[in-house]
Amino acid sequence: MDKLKFIAAFLLAKLSGPVLKMTGHKGTNFPGKLALRICPDFLRYIRKPRRIIAVTGTNGKTTVSNLLCDILEKNGEKVLSNRYGSNINSGIATVLLSGCNIFGCQKYRLAVLEVDERSTPRIFPHVKPEVLVITNLFRDSIMRNAHPAYIADILTREIPSTTRLILNADDLIACSVAPANARTYFGIAHLESDVTECINLINDMRICPKCHGELRYEYRRYHHIGKAVCDRCGFHSPRYDYFAEDVDFRNMTMRLRDSEKVAEYPLLSDSIFNVYNMVTVIAVLREMGYTHEKIFAAMKKSAIVASRHNEEQVGDVTLVMQMAKEKNALACSRAFDYVSSRSGEKELMLMMNCLGDAKHWSENVSWLYDCDFEFLNKPDIRCIVATGPRAMDYRLRLLLAGVPEEKIICVRDEMEAAESLPFVGGDQVYLFYGTDSFTYAQQVREKLVTLAKEAAK
Amino acid sequence: MRIEILFPEVANLYGDLMNMDYLRRCLGSVEVIRTSLHSEPAFVSEQVDLIYMGSVTEEGQRLAVEALMPYRDKLVDLIEEGQIFLITGNALEIFGKHISRDDGTELPCLGLFPTVAKHTMMKRYNALYLGKFENSMDIVGFKSQFGHSFGEAEPLFTTFRGCGLNPETPGEGLRRRNFFATYLTGPLLVLNPPFTKYLLRLMGVSEPTLCFEDAAMDLYRDRVREFGDPGTGIEYH
């Protein structure tokens, strides 16, 4: 009966693909959703590529998956990936379906699948990756993901025992996942900018996982990312198998060291997050047997898609679209830290509101109090325009962060709020937006472009 | 004035610690004692004006019970003597009898209240909350939790919209004398200036003023109106 259901699901879902294409619905999960609706065990029966590399974690999984696919394809591999689809079970069903011919035979030998960490209970029982990369585990949505130890527990329960893990050694929460599985570690060696004490509100790895004594960080990058030791029981962060050293943001280079070689690589981005993403990709490819030369050659022709940070010169200002996921204190803290550390005068507009929540309920603002708005209390930040349904919440949070009242402008309507920016020549003008406000932010950007051009006249 | 924060190394979720930061800034001069899992709590041998514990990981709940169990009798005495406690989020659960999870495990707790918490780990309850404190003061807040508590106990708030200690009861949180515990998470004191002033008065501040009081009051009034609007959904889905 199950097999019959699967065949019906397969054929109907497969046929829905061309229909969707003809009607201009590219990249939707509809085929997978349909297949799972007809046959809940669809992922069990669908033919899979022989090798599956899965990428999960709180941040960086899209960047890592895309970069990995790019480099593999540049090296002649035919890769099945969900880069244009979603990373939940219906997205995985859709992509596996797309890799099969009408007779149900899988055309691909290799898949790189980005997997939502919270969705693993619906995916991993049937889709068993040979390799699973965990980029990091941080706090995400309070409502969905609770806290990172909860996500680590889910992963530990769900990861197949045969899966080899590639883990961020600088993230002890990620390292705690599935302790019985074979594993490889990557990381970034000590950087000049590292500290030892945590300056962030979120600091989720304060106690030793073995004896629960206080951890001491030999170096710390941000939040719980760094190298820790427990002076009580001797526990320490794992040793790197692959790590970046001599990371040089001025010359945009780094060296990658592993047990066999040291190789120089160009940096694809000036953010430390993306250095982690690069090191992750290199570690996976080295584990797959690729030489540094082959990785280097493909990587230097690759780019990290700048969907989360786009700059353009408009009139006399630099207009920057900066993604800062709503309801995600950590993502916003990282974005605030990155922007505030850049030199030059800045004008900011905050519109990371969850418009969906505002429409039906009211956004849970607890995350604002986990988020480091304190980074925005800087002399070179000329003004901060708080806007959207939670504009007044941003205002109070900014005041508590020490931002002078005269720097804060609070206008609920986003389009009207754009007019409050002074557009002083030479300034960087940042629009912080989230995934939920992404589409609306593009409209606000248009308005900012018009206003910036007018201001330059 | 002295505030003791219990186990901030694990009880630090969902912005809850901002409650104590806000109180500290409202008080001006205050000593904040951060008690770790491996040290003896200050309340055992010294006088403190407020004992606080915030939302905590599930493993943290276990560790907190372990750390507090040797001082259970002292906690009973302090509650009866009128010591002020503020407990937010799922930290409330460790003061009940036990926590049972849907994987069949059970965590015996301090047993200071006759309540039992039941967790469904893959189904989180997320909601807004509007209630009253002492039948006169509006309380607004947010809930984000793995389960509810069941059992007969004096509540802290009376629910107007949202869920009480569990979906069947209008009473929210736990109260005994000056022991205040609520499932509400996040910046409860920032969001509820009148309750914060009540707490400060209880702590001995005769004419309390709040940090950025006008901005906080504006938001409080807006939120009471918004959460009271029947058009505003209460439980996220």
Q: State the pLDDT confidence band at A26, using cuts at 50, 70 and 90.
A: low
Mutate to test the interface with A, among B5, B7, B12, B225 (most CBs of A within 10 A): B12
Q: Which residues of B touch A153 (CB under 8 A)?
A: 58
Q: How far apart are CA A79 and CA A73, in angstroms?
A: 7
Query: What is the pLDDT at residue A106?
Result: 97
Quote the mean pLDDT of chain A.
95
Query: What is the pLDDT at residue B168?
Result: 95
Q: Which residues of A touch B227 (CB under 8 A)?
A: 362
Mean pLDDT over A279-285 rounds to: 98
Mutate to test the interface with A, among B25, B34, B57 (most CBs of A within 10 A): B57
Q: Are B161 and B139 in contact (CB under 8 A)?
A: no
Asked if B122's CB is within 8 angstroms of A364's CB, the reply is no
Give span(s): CATH 3.90.190.20, chain A.
Answer: 309-456
| Structure tokens, B179 | 């022991």
Query: What is the pLDDT at residue A238?
Result: 98
This prediction has a pTM of: 0.95
Q: Which residues of A touch B57 (CB under 8 A)?
A: 147, 149-150
pLDDT tens, A252-280?
A: 999 999 998 999 999 998 889 999 999 99
Q: How far apart are CA B190 and CA B196, in angstroms?
A: 8
Mean pLDDT over B210-234 rounds to: 97
Lowest-confidence segment of A22-26, A322-326, B85-89, B91-95 by average pLDDT: A22-26
Question: Does A286 have pLDDT greater than 80?
Answer: yes
C-alpha separations of B57 from A111, A139, B12, B165 in Å: 35, 12, 9, 19
Q: What is the number of other CB atoms lying within 10 angstroms of the CB of residue B195?
A: 24
Least CB–CB distance from A364: residue in B58, B144, B146:
B144
SS3 state at A429: strand
SS3 state at A181: coil
Q: State the pLDDT confidence band at A22, using cuts at 50, 70 and 90.
A: confident
**How is chain B classified by DSSP, letter by letter?**
-EEEEE-TTTS--TTTTHHHHHHHHHHSS-EEEEE-TTS--GGGTS--SEEEE----HHHHHHHHHHHGGGHHHHHHHHHHT--EEEEGGGGGGGSSEEEETTS-EEE---SSS-EEEE-TT--EEEEEEEEETTTEEEEEEEEESEEEES----SEEEEES--SSTT-SEESEEETTEEEES-BS-HHHH-HHHHHHHHHHTT-SS---TTHHHHHHHHHHHHHHHHSTTS--B--
- The answer to whether B57 contacts chain A (CB < 8 Å) is yes
Q: How far apart are CA A352 and CA A367, in angstroms?
A: 12
Mutate to test the interface with A, among B7, B10, B12, B14 (most CBs of A within 10 A): B14
pLDDT tens, A352-392?
A: 999 999 999 999 999 999 999 999 999 999 999 999 999 99
Least CB–CB distance from B128: residue in A329, A362, A392:
A362
- The answer to whether B38 contacts chain A (CB < 8 Å) is yes
pLDDT tens, A428-444?
A: 999 999 988 999 999 99
Query: What is the pLDDT at residue A18?
Result: 80
- Which residues is A385 bridged to in the sheet? A349, A409
Q: How far apart are CA B111 and CA B79, in angstroms?
A: 13
Asked if B58's CB is within 8 angstroms of A396's CB, the reply is no
Least CB–CB distance from B9: residue in A121, A144, A206:
A206
pLDDT tens, B107-163?
A: 999 999 999 999 999 999 999 999 999 999 999 999 999 999 999 999 999 999 999
Q: State the pLDDT confidence band at A75, using cuts at 50, 70 and 90.
A: very high
Query: What is the pLDDT at residue B116?
Result: 98
Q: Which residues of B touch A357 (CB under 8 A)?
A: 236
Percent of chain A with pLDDT strictly greater than 70: 99
Question: Does B176 have pLDDT greater than 90?
Answer: yes
- Of B178, B175, B176, nearest to B204 by C-alpha is B178
**CB proximity list for A153: less than 8 A, separation 6 or greater:** B58
Q: Which residues of B touch A144 (CB under 8 A)?
A: 124
Strands A79-81 and A110-114: parallel
Query: What is the pLDDT at residue A325?
Result: 87
Q: State the pLDDT confidence band at B1, using cuts at 50, 70 and 90.
A: very high
Q: Are B48 and B88 in contact (CB under 8 A)?
A: no
- The edge-to-edge listing of strands for the beta sheet with B125-133 is B137-145, B125-133, B157-161, B171-172
Whether domain A2-183 has CATH 3.40.1190.10: the reply is yes
Q: State the pLDDT confidence band at A416, using cuts at 50, 70 and 90.
A: very high
Question: Does A25 have pLDDT greater than 80?
Answer: no
What residues of chain B, 93 to 112, have a C-beta less than 8 Å from chain A? none
| Structure tokens, A356 | 């969906």
pLDDT tens, A104-115?
A: 999 999 999 999
Domain boundaries, chain B: 2-228
Q: State the pLDDT confidence band at A23, using cuts at 50, 70 and 90.
A: confident
Q: Which residues of A touch B126 (CB under 8 A)?
A: 143, 364
Q: Which residues of B touch A142 (CB under 8 A)?
A: 13-14, 144, 185
Asked if B223's CB is within 8 angstroms of A396's CB, the reply is no
Asked if A393's CB is within 8 angstroms of B38's CB, the reply is no
Q: How far apart are CA A388 and CA A415, in angstroms?
A: 10
Q: How far is CA A391 from the centre of its chain?
A: 26
Query: What is the pLDDT at residue A283?
Result: 98
Q: How far apart are CA A426 and CA A144, in angstroms?
A: 41
Q: How far apart are CA A190 and CA A192, in angstroms?
A: 7
Mean pLDDT over A96-110 rounds to: 96
Question: Does B164 have pLDDT greater than 70?
Answer: yes
Q: How far apart are CA A266 and CA A247, in angstroms?
A: 10
Least CB–CB distance from A142: residue in B25, B122, B144:
B144
DSSP A270: S
Residues of A engaging B, defined by a Cβ cutoff of 8 Å: 121, 142-144, 146-147, 149-150, 153, 201, 203, 206-207, 212-214, 329, 357, 360-362, 364-370, 392-393, 395-396, 399-400
Asked if A121's CB is within 8 angstroms of B122's CB, the reply is yes
Asked if A207's CB is within 8 angstroms of B10's CB, the reply is yes
Q: State the pLDDT confidence band at A27, using cuts at 50, 70 and 90.
A: low
Asked if A361's CB is within 8 angstroms of B232's CB, the reply is yes
Identify the sign of the CA torsion B141, B196, B182, A147: positive
Question: Does A67 have pLDDT greater than 90?
Answer: yes
Mutate to test the interface with B, among A151, A212, A363 (most CBs of B within 10 A): A212
ipTM: 0.97
SS3 state at A71: helix
Q: Which residues of A touch B144 (CB under 8 A)?
A: 142-143, 146, 364, 366
Mean pLDDT over A13-40 rounds to: 86
Query: What is the pLDDT at residue A307?
Result: 63
Query: What is the pLDDT at residue A1?
Result: 67
Identify the sign of the CA torsion A264, A268, A273, A279: negative
What fold is seen in the domain A309-456?
Protein-Tyrosine Phosphatase; Chain A (3.90.190)
Residue spans of alpha helices (H) in A163-203: 172-175
pLDDT tens, A155-200?
A: 999 999 999 999 999 999 999 999 999 999 999 999 999 999 999 9
Quote the mean pLDDT of chain B.
97
Mutate to test the interface with B, among A224, A396, A403, A436 (most CBs of B within 10 A): A396
B2-228 belongs to which homologous superfamily?
A: Class I glutamine amidotransferase (GATase) domain (3.40.50.880)
The count of residues in chain B is 237
Asked if B128's CB is within 8 angstroms of A361's CB, the reply is yes
